[in-house]
Amino acid sequence: MARAYNFCAGPASLPEPVLEQARREMMDWQGKGLSVMEMSHRSDEMVGIASEAEKDLRELMGIPNDYAVLFLQGGATAQFSAIPLNLLRGRSSADYVVTGQWSKKALEEGKRYANANVVASSKDTNFSTIPAFDTWKLDPNAAYLHYTPNETIGGVEFFWTPDSGDVPLVADMSSTILSRPVDVTKFGLIYAGAQKNIGPAGLTIVIVRRDLLGKAHAMTPTIMDYQIQADNDSMYNTPPTYAWYLAGLVFKWLKTQGGLAGMEKVNRRKAGKLYDYIDNSGYYKNPVEVASRSLMNIPFTLPREELDKPFLKGAEARGLLNLKGHRSVGGMRASVYNAVPESAVDTLIEYMKDFASQNA
Ligand SMILES: *Cc1c(COP(=O)(O)O)cnc(C)c1O
């Protein structure tokens, strides 16, 4: 059976060599006579798989030893609550930057625990821009500054890192992690649900500076307490073992692709081609300011809404799947994560050209 090109925003494409290896190892992992899914999380085998994945992630992202790496459940959404519970550290307020729907959700959850202040928002441009840093109303006493480096729905990405001074910088990197190098030392905490660029749904990665641990609010659920998870190597309870194993395979694959610098090159080429085509087509449009256009999530519209359905139908017939935009914004969205090959983008552009000429 031929594999389609999958532009889903999440759960998203996985690298084919990873799926092939998982298939080979499904019934009998490395001669042990069982699947990774069937292993005790306390077994030497699973503990080995888990620590190897952490080692590879540390290497790929350059994560220093004064940061803990946690492999958790609950998605990025659980972190919207875990972050204030762990990082308020007796303070009453936290700063939030709102650049789209995910940062808004993080803010709303933050409000349950803290005086969550909106220090900057791009609402007045319908979230198609990033507010200039010199307009941000930062509070030097905030417990942390939260932002969303890539808005998965709006397709808006930061290509610079906010300078939060001594206030810990917290980033929801769910849809940009591993797409290009980042300087981890600029962050107090980085988190990401796995199902975009890391692996299957069900795993969430938290990278947190160790000096921020151990000060969780007393009512923090035990499994959400970063210190307890760090002390237990993310195995305080049963972790998502199979998702962790698959993430480990993705990290190994990334190392064969030239690491994150290698990925960035390919990702810039892929996104660049698609934006260039959209801009020059005189047919399709992307609403985002050029300097903040996401490398991972590329929304676009057709000249008339009634063309959406036939566009999607024709795409599917060519094996181009999941191009429908988020229900809240309409139009189309091509998510071109690490595992989406350049040939997928080329095929999509060919289809877009044909569709435009046949539906002028
Ligand atoms: C997908 C996504 C989320 C939600 O992740 P869940 O794992 O479903 O909780 C949050 N933030 C961003 C930026 C996302 O892309």
CATH of the domain at 274: 3.90.1150.10
For position 293, what pLDDT does the model report?
A: 98
Check whether 307 has a pLDDT greater than 60: yes
Residue ending a domain, choose from 229, 256, 283: 256
Ligand 1 neighbourhood includes 99 CB (under 6 angstroms) = no
Q: Same domain, yes or no, for 327 and 238?
A: no
Give the tokens for residue 171. 């980033």
With H, G, I as helix, E, B as strand and everything else as coil, classify residue 23: helix
Q: Hey, which of 71, 173, 175 would you mutate to test ligand 1's pocket, going by the most ligand atoms within 8 Å of its Cβ?
A: 175
Q: Same domain, yes or no, for 128 and 103?
A: yes
Residue ending a domain, choose from 256, 287, 304: 256
Ligand 1 neighbourhood includes 200 CB (under 6 angstroms) = no
With H, G, I as helix, E, B as strand and everything else as coil, classify residue 314: helix
Return the CATH number at 76: 3.40.640.10
- pTM of the complete model: 0.98
Burial of 262 (0-12, 13-18, 19+ CB in 10 A): middle
Q: Hey, which of 72, 105, 174 would you mutate to test ligand 1's pocket, going by the most ligand atoms within 8 Å of its Cβ?
A: 174
Ligand 1 neighbourhood includes 153 CB (under 6 angstroms) = no
Ligand 1 neighbourhood includes 152 CB (under 6 angstroms) = yes
Give the tokens for residue 121. 């928002």
Ligand 1 neighbourhood includes 102 CB (under 6 angstroms) = yes
**Model pLDDT for residues 34-71, shown as the tens digit of each residue:** 999 999 999 999 999 999 999 999 999 999 999 999 99
Give the pLDDT band of residue 2 (cuts 50, 70, 90). Answer: confident
Q: Same domain, yes or no, for 231 and 350?
A: no
For position 328, what pLDDT does the model report?
A: 81
Q: Same domain, yes or no, for 156 and 249?
A: yes
Give the pLDDT band of residue 332 (cuts 50, 70, 90). Answer: very high
**Residue 175 neighbours by CB under 8 Å, 6+ apart:** 9, 10, 150, 151, 152, 192, 196, 197, 294, 296, 297, 335, 337
Domain residues for 282? Answer: 5-12+258-358
8 Å CB contact between 31 and 347: no
Q: Same domain, yes or no, for 99 and 178?
A: yes
Check whether 232 has a pLDDT greater than 80: yes
Give the tokens for residue 315. 């795409």
Burial letters for 87-108: b for 16+ Cβ neighbours within 10 Å, e otherwise?
bbeebeebbbbbbbbbbbbbbe
Ligand 1 neighbourhood includes 193 CB (under 6 angstroms) = yes
For ligand 1, atom 14: residue with the closest CA: 174
8 Å CB contact between 151 and 157: yes
Q: Hey, which of 71, 83, 152 would you mutate to test ligand 1's pocket, going by the most ligand atoms within 8 Å of its Cβ?
A: 152
Binning the chain into helix, strand and coil, the percentages to the nearest 5 are 40, 15, 40
Give the pLDDT band of residue 360 (cuts 50, 70, 90). Answer: confident
Q: Same domain, yes or no, for 205 and 58?
A: yes
Domain count within the chain: 2
Ligand 1 neighbourhood includes 331 CB (under 6 angstroms) = no
Q: Match 């590879």 to its residue by tokens.
A: 56
Phi, psi of 210 (to 5 degrees): -65, -30
CA 175 to ligand 1: nearest atom: 15
Residues designated as active site: 102, 172, 196
- 10 Å Cβ neighbour count for 11? 15
Q: Same domain, yes or no, for 200 and 321?
A: no
Q: Same domain, yes or no, for 163 and 35?
A: yes
- Ligand 1 midpoint to CA 194 (Å): 9
**Model pLDDT for residues 241-298, shown as the tens digit of each residue:** 999 999 999 999 999 999 999 999 999 999 999 999 999 999 999 999 999 999 999 9
Which residues is 333 bridged to in the sheet? 299
CA distances, 3 to each of 193, 287, 340 (Å): 25, 31, 12
CA distance 30 to 41: 16
Q: Same domain, yes or no, for 91 and 189?
A: yes
Check whether 1 has a pLDDT greater than 70: no
CA distance 84 to 91: 10
Averaged pLDDT for residues 175-188: 98
For position 327, what pLDDT does the model report?
A: 83
Averaged pLDDT for residues 116-126: 97
CA distance 148 to 97: 8
Q: Same domain, yes or no, for 299 and 251?
A: no
Residue ending a domain, choose from 235, 256, 277: 256
Nearest to 254 by CA among 266, 242, 243: 266
Q: Same domain, yes or no, for 265 and 196?
A: no
Q: Same domain, yes or no, for 243 and 315?
A: no
Averaged pLDDT for residues 208-231: 98
